[in-house]
Structure 1
Amino acid sequence: MQNKISQLTHKRVLGVAIPIVLANVTIPILGAVDTAVVGQMGLAAPIGAVGIGAIIISAIYWLFGFLRMGTTGLTAQAIGSNDQSETSALLVRGVIIGLVAGLILILIQIPLFSGALGLAPASAEVESLAQEYLKIRVYSAPAAIAIFGITGWLIAKERTRAVLVLLLLVNTVNITLDFVFVLKLGWGVEGVAFATLIAEWLGLLFGLWLAREGFKNGYWRNWIQIFDRARLIKMAKVNSDI
């Protein structure tokens, strides 16, 4: 009996872990395709601009990685306690925090990106193109960060295959639009940025659909619980530790 339980446990762990590993593998592939597509323009400056811009955006988004991990932990606790209302509230709370954080980035984009580019000095042409790239990419920040909350919630529900499908969709749309906007329409660096912007907003919509289970009951509309001060403080403490 003990061996059977152990075998089931191992299978369960692998079922959760393998899709996440595969999802993480897709991330560097996307950056490589972006660079390869821009490289078809035959100019060095666009390649440098996309590279610098992508590094800056990725570094900023990395700071919000706590939202996924924090949402995963708290949602798992709520599920273990059979607290359906808090389980749904955490999904909505994570999405709202992501949207608000993204809006703040949009509002402070000028000093934020100026400071970031100052830390990575480049030629005037590369910096100018990088600024154009960032000015477009930043408008997908609310979607990109909100997706952290959704994926964290899905992981807690042990739906890591859904997370893999979500990331594959975002990457596939992004890569497809890269070819259309850059190689077909000749939009250059702006084309790469618009491709990612559209892909991430579509990813948010698809992510909400994947997490529709959390919206099937009325708990997700319990705004008093969602914005409960004690629960927000608890989430902030967990995130600060992360």
Structure 2
Amino acid sequence: MDKKIFRLAFPNIISNITVPLLGMIDIAIAGHLGSAIYIGAIALGGNIFNMVYWNFGFLRMSTSGFTAQAYGARNFGEAMNVLIRSLVVAVGIGLLILLLQVPIERLAVNFIKSGPETIDNVKFYFRIAIWSAPAVLAMFAFNGWFIGMQNAKTPMVIAIINNALNILLSFTFVYGFDMKIKGIALGTMLSQIITLFICIGFWFRYYGRMLKYIDLSTVLD
């Protein structure tokens, strides 16, 4: 029992440790751009996204709980229903965030007490990175589902891949194309979208056989 708990807990601990790394990586890259303005803009922009996404942490937790309940009962049809419902809600909220990005940006900027140049760079970062909102929230749902299925290793691997892609893409755009803060934002955004597709690939690899349990007539039950 202790070994089983450890196998579930340890990867989850590693996954949680990697969460703040995305922002730290962006700040580290910004630190080499030659101005403290970029560091401040990335830190503030990252805080905006942390506040936005924190509100939807329930997607991962609730998905994990309901999936674990279905898995324990060996009700794989319901486990698939949970995933479908969670993904629909996650993508729906993500699209709503995209529709409301202008008022969200204005509201967030109103709370920032900094110089105009820093605020301008915060806006640059926000307006690019926001486009991965549906992907980020969809990964919340997928990761919660994986954990509910007693698979904590896959979310850990996904988190590591996300960070590796973020480093690679951000470095490429910043130093290869001299895009500065826009390059950091683009690297972050693309890494999250690409990671979602990798996440979907993992799902089909390990759980594709569960497609046969889908019954759309019971999804809304």
The TM-score normalised by the length of structure 2 is 0.95
User: How far apart, in 1, do the equivalents of 2:71 and 2:169 lie?
Assistant: 38
User: Is residue 225 from structure 1 mapped to residue 218 from structure 2 by the alignment?
Assistant: yes
The TM-score normalised by the length of structure 1 is 0.87
The counterpart of 2:154, out of the listed 158, 162, 165, is 162
User: Is residue 54 from structure 1 mapped to residue 55 from structure 2 by the alignment?
Assistant: no
| 8 Å CA contact retained: 1:154, 1:162 | yes
Q: Secondary structure of the equivalent of 2:104?
A: helix
| 8 Å CA contact retained: 1:68, 1:149 | yes
| 8 Å CA contact retained: 2:173, 2:179 | yes
Letter in 1 for 2:93: A
Between the two proteins, the alignment pairs up a number of residues equal to: 219
**1:161 offset after TM fit, Å?**
0.8
User: Is residue 97 from structure 1 mapped to residue 89 from structure 2 by the alignment?
Assistant: yes
1:207 maps to which residue? 199
User: How far apart, in 1, do the equivalents of 2:208 and 2:91 lie?
Assistant: 18
User: Is residue 71 from structure 1 mapped to residue 79 from structure 2 by the alignment?
Assistant: no
Q: Secondary structure of the equivalent of 2:178?
A: coil
| 8 Å CA contact retained: 1:88, 1:215 | no
**1:214 offset after TM fit, Å?**
4.3
User: Is residue 118 from structure 1 mapped to residue 110 from structure 2 by the alignment?
Assistant: yes
Q: Deviations over 1:141-198 (max 9, x none)?
A: 0000010000000001111111100000011000111111112211011111111111
**1:93 offset after TM fit, Å?**
1.6
1:87 maps to which residue? 79
User: Which has more radius of gyration?
Assistant: 1
User: Is residue 22 from structure 1 mapped to residue 14 from structure 2 by the alignment?
Assistant: yes
User: How far apart, in 1, do the equivalents of 2:104 and 2:121 lie?
Assistant: 16
2:123 maps to which residue? 131
Which stretch shifts more, 89-98 or 109-118? Answer: 89-98
| 8 Å CA contact retained: 1:87, 1:214 | no
| 8 Å CA contact retained: 2:68, 2:150 | no
Give the gaps of 5 or more residues in structure 1: 1-8, 232-242
**1:117 offset after TM fit, Å?**
1.4
**1:129 offset after TM fit, Å?**
1.0
Matched-pair identity in %: 31
Q: Deviations over 1:19-59 (max 9, x none)?
A: 11111122233322211111111012111111111110111
User: How far apart, in 2, do the equivalents of 1:140 and 1:108 lie?
Assistant: 14
| 8 Å CA contact retained: 1:182, 1:189 | yes
Pairing of 1:185-204 with structure 2 (within 5 A): 185-204=177-196
Letter in 1 for 2:21: I
Q: Secondary structure of the equivalent of 1:164?
A: helix
2:37 maps to which residue? 45
User: How far apart, in 2, do the equivalents of 1:215 and 1:142 lie?
Assistant: 22
